[in-house]
Amino acid sequence: MLRLIAGTTLLVLAASTASAQNSGTEDTRTQFPALLANSYFSVNVGAIDYPFSEAQLQPGFRTASIVVPHVAARVALFGHEFTRYLSVQGTYMRPVRYVAYHDVNGDQSTHHVWMHFGGVTMKVRAPVANRVSVFGEGGLGITSRSGFESGPTPVVRDTHYAAPLAGGGVEYHLGPAWDLTAGVLYSPGRSRDAQPRTIFTSGGFRYTMRPLAQERVEANRSSGAIFPVNVLQVELSTGYGYGVNRFVSRRLPVFWFGNVNVDRGVAAHYTRNVFHSRRLFALDVGTSVSGWRSQGERNRFYTLSIYPLLRFTFLRTTRADLYAVYSLAGPTYISQVRIDGRDTGNHFTFQDFMGAGVFVGQKRNVTLGVKINHYSNGNIFTENAGLKIPITATAGITF
């Protein structure tokens, strides 16, 4: 669900691309595009309560113990304020650790039940003091549970359903852009699947992209730093370097791993810049077409994606600019749903990648780089065998 929400963000960004650059010579990309202004993201951490028990087990199964961890997080990767009092947001919620059933029918093993929640809700806010507001929210949520089996027999069944969401809370306004938040959210269970109700109590923060002051817009525009408007790249994977994927997903958890190794592939990418800061940050939207081959059964498949791209130019010199890129939740069509004997869920999935590169040339019109890739559906379907793509080399031009 997190990737679905971020994908919705991308569609909004793509719609704003036309306003990112006018037909004249003045750089208009130093102000938030119209459809991003007064949009926000938020992060909340707290306690999730769902009373899992032996009631979720199928007849004939017993367990020695059940562990229900309670720490969870909920994020709104995209929300938009239509007025001071009304906003709409897409959210994703999951526990930090999953529910665990130990020693089922004496098998001396641990089995996990994966829980993920997503939703689209409307928030209504009412001020009660100078810096304090209360809010209520309601909308449609999706509950996704991935259970487990004993051989071919389900022990805890998968379930996937939509239901109303409701919640409320309080906000403390630190300033025009930053708020502290606290609240409670309720998601109903479903008796026919023995799925218990869920209550999430949390606190966190929200950052809103308020239109920048004209002085800051002018300062960004006059910095002299080059932010390429269009980037066209070709990418080649040779099937080596899975250790990098493992390191950034297991030891330094800033990316995703995956169950299927992708051995070879080639891709073409086009991105367009829609916003940039004075020297460091750039926001692009992009599209890509890729062809891949898996390592195990050598299954061939292709992907079509659109995506948001965060670019950080962390070192600028007279001859070259060094940058890091991170892309999350690009909505993607994947041509195969079963790869190397594993079920990827559906033809709809998400593209993620991270990497580093360099712009060279007087006008920074050539770029070279490396990155790693990942495809998965973010558990919006109960089957989700992720694909990991190791180090790929990229080369391209800017214009």
Do 204 and 347 belong together in one domain? Answer: no
Residues 159, 194, single domain; the answer is yes
- Percent pLDDT > 70 in the chain is 94
For the entire predicted model, the pTM comes to: 0.78
Average pLDDT for 289-314: 94
Domain boundary among 185, 208, 231: 208
User: What is residue 25's predicted lDDT score, i.e. its pLDDT?
Assistant: 58
104-160: pLDDT as tens digits: 999 999 999 999 999 999 999 999 999 999 999 999 999 999 999 998 899 999 999
| pLDDT of amino acid 15 | 42
Mean pLDDT of the chain, nearest integer: 90
Whether residue 277 sits in one domain with residue 260: yes
Distance in angstroms (rounded) separating the CA atoms of residues 127 and 129: 6
Same domain, 195 and 277: no
203 and 278 in a single domain? The answer is no
Same domain, 109 and 230: no
Range of the domain at 379: 217-398
* Single-letter amino acid, residue 150: S
- The owner of tokens 């010579």 is 25
Per-residue pLDDT tens digits for 190-234: 999 999 999 999 999 999 999 999 999 998 888 889 999 999 999
Give the count of domains, the chain: 2
pLDDT surpassing 90 at residue 38: yes
Q: Are residues 72 and 131 in the same domain?
A: yes
Q: Say how many C-beta atoms besides its own lie within 10 A of residue 395's C-beta.
A: 13
Looking at 150, 184, 208, the residue that finishes a domain is: 208
- One domain for residues 167 and 230: no
In this structure, the answer to whether residues 170 and 199 fall within a common structural domain is yes
My answer on whether 175 and 268 are in the same domain is no
137 and 241 co-located in one domain: no
- Please indicate, yes or no, if residue 30 is contained in any of the structural domains: no
Q: List the CATH number of the domain containing 304.
A: 2.40.160.20
Where is the domain boundary, 176, 208, 240?
208
What pLDDT sits at residue 53?
Answer: 96
Question: What band does 1 get if pLDDT is binned at 50, 70 and 90?
Answer: very low
Shared domain check, 391 and 364: yes
Query: Residue 7: is its pLDDT beyond 70?
Result: no
pLDDT tens figures, 8-21: 444 444 444 434 34
How much is the pLDDT for 8? 44
What integer is the mean pLDDT of 244-268? 88
**Average of pLDDT values for 346-356?**
93
